[in-house]
Structure 1
């Protein structure tokens, strides 16, 4: 590890500006969140320049060699944030042992190792974020931050008003698992089309919500993730987030701390 002597407490050298907390480095490498990184450091499985580091708050230089459980990790010089209009028949993982198409078969970046933020089912379409910023990705998917997700579901039959009310108040989708209250909007021109606004992202949640009151989801499209939409993107197309969009996401999770 590289350190730098300071002449006074207030002085800052050029090398100091290039230092980064070890837990942040691990998180930005896309491995785990900062909290989990601290647990790895405490467990003694993190090495910097072949020396085990167990002290929380340790700072390292970007050029230091870091391993976790013996595996080298690194962060790219800049973080990448991508919005994909996910198509059907596509797995939200970085690889698939069955050889099925994944989102990384669509978004191919030569120098950046990116990961999906959360998951969409194989045949669910719409907004999907991908990034190599592990710390932000963890916050966006954590329930405490209550990120708004807007879905448009096509059902096998018209949704009754009493079932819509039940969904809006929270329904049991698994034993002892009750969903949070949400907003339910039925399309007046086609009552088989329903918009759900959720603030959590449990596995297969939307489909389970409707199944709990006797409906089958025929198709599902995520229209918004926070204020991000697929406007201007065809299925299978993607774009990089703007600086303003990235700043708004960071501000959102910072403001939602509890």
Structure 2
């Protein structure tokens, strides 16, 4: 069972901000399972009973979804330019969910959303080696030696970008395009596009088809489904 810091759980319930929640704990105004708690390092689970100043907090149910994100959509919970955001596709979800990582505006494919911060941190931690599989349509046909560099690492904007697998699936010499499949462990900003730009075959279309063992099977662009408890558990085991 996932544990979270007490002040984070209080803040998520809407009772107080994270900082205010910390002060309430220090002031002895928070009770967990009938015992006063004054240590900020205290962690709780969904089974713990928590009250603040004598009032039980409402626990938000932890939820997990997979969305087939269309192109032209922001992986965010809000956008100042009023562009379409991923939450527009889950309007009936009452919990305050957010994306696990992101897909670029022009990238489609598999995106996870949740309100579980520990789950998110586990999946996105740099030490986790979870496969993320992409299909790329390129303008120009990549050189095989160039693609081999992906496995060794390509320097871009001060970062080393690497793929763990890359293979050309098909080419169209008349249109001068190619379809390439690659797998990443990293999740750097615009990573796939930067890697292909480095070998002078820019990306025309980009789609994430898999995250770990999860696929888009049964989903059309803009559709979503809830993860099963077993899938959530398997993802957390994968992150370990």
| Aligned counterpart in structure 2 of residue 182 of structure 1, from 161, 164, 167 | 164
Task: Mark the CA change 1:46 to 1:122 in structure 2 (over 3 Å): closer, same or farther.
Answer: farther
In structure 1, the gaps of 5 or more residues are 1-19, 32-39, 67-72
1:191-241 Cα distance to aligned partner (Å, 9 max, x none):
611111001111111111111121211110000000101111000000011
1:228–1:139 CA distance, 2 compared to 1 (3 A): same
Moved more, 166-175 or 128-137: 166-175
Cα distance in 2 between the residues matched to 1:174 and 1:218: 21
- Is the 2:123–2:236 Cα contact (8 Å) retained in structure 1? no
Give the alignment partner of residue 221 of structure 1, picking from 200, 207, 220: 207
Alpha-carbon distance change, 59 to 214 in structure 1, aligned in 2, over 3 angstroms: closer
Q: Which of 128, 134, 138 pairs up with 2:117?
A: 134
Query: Contact conserved, 1:29 with 1:132, CA < 8 A, in 2?
Result: no
Query: Measured at CA, do residues 62 and 186 of structure 1 come closer, stay the same or move farther in structure 2, by a change above 3 Å?
Result: same
- 1:147 shift after superposition: 1.3
Gaps of 5+ in 2: 31-37
Question: CA shift at 1:62, angstroms?
Answer: 3.7
For 1:30 and 1:220, the matched residues in 2 are separated by: 34
Residue 47 of structure 1 aligns with which residue? 24
Distance across 2 between alignment mates of 1:119 and 1:198: 14
**Equivalent of residue 42 in structure 2, options 57, 61, 78:** 57
Please state how far the C-alpha of 1:169 moved relative to its aligned partner: 1.5
Q: Distance in 2 between matches of 1:153 and 1:160?
A: 14
Offset, 1:50:
7.7
Check the 8 A contact 2:165/2:182 in 1, yes or no. yes
Considering fraction of residues, name the structure with more strand: 2
Distance 1:134 1:89 in 2: 26
Deviation at residue 64 of structure 1 after TM alignment? 2.0
SS at 1:166 equivalent: helix
Residues 163 and 213 in structure 1, CA contact (< 8 A), matched pair in contact too: yes
**Partner residue, 2:179:** 193
TM-superposed deviation, 1:123: 1.4
What is the CA RMSD across the aligned residues, in angstroms?
Answer: 3.0
1:1-258 equivalences under 5 Å are 23=5, 26=8, 45-48=22-25, 51=29, 53-57=38-42, 61-65=48-52, 75-76=59-60, 78-175=61-158, 177-190=159-172, 192-253=178-239, 256=240
- Give secondary structure in 1 for the equivalent of 2:127: helix
Q: Secondary structure at the match of 2:121?
A: helix
CA–CA distance in structure 2, aligned partners of residues 212 and 156 of structure 1: 13
- Tell me how far apart the structure 2 counterparts of residues 167 and 28 of structure 1 sit (CA, whole Å): 44
How far is 1:45 from its partner?
4.0
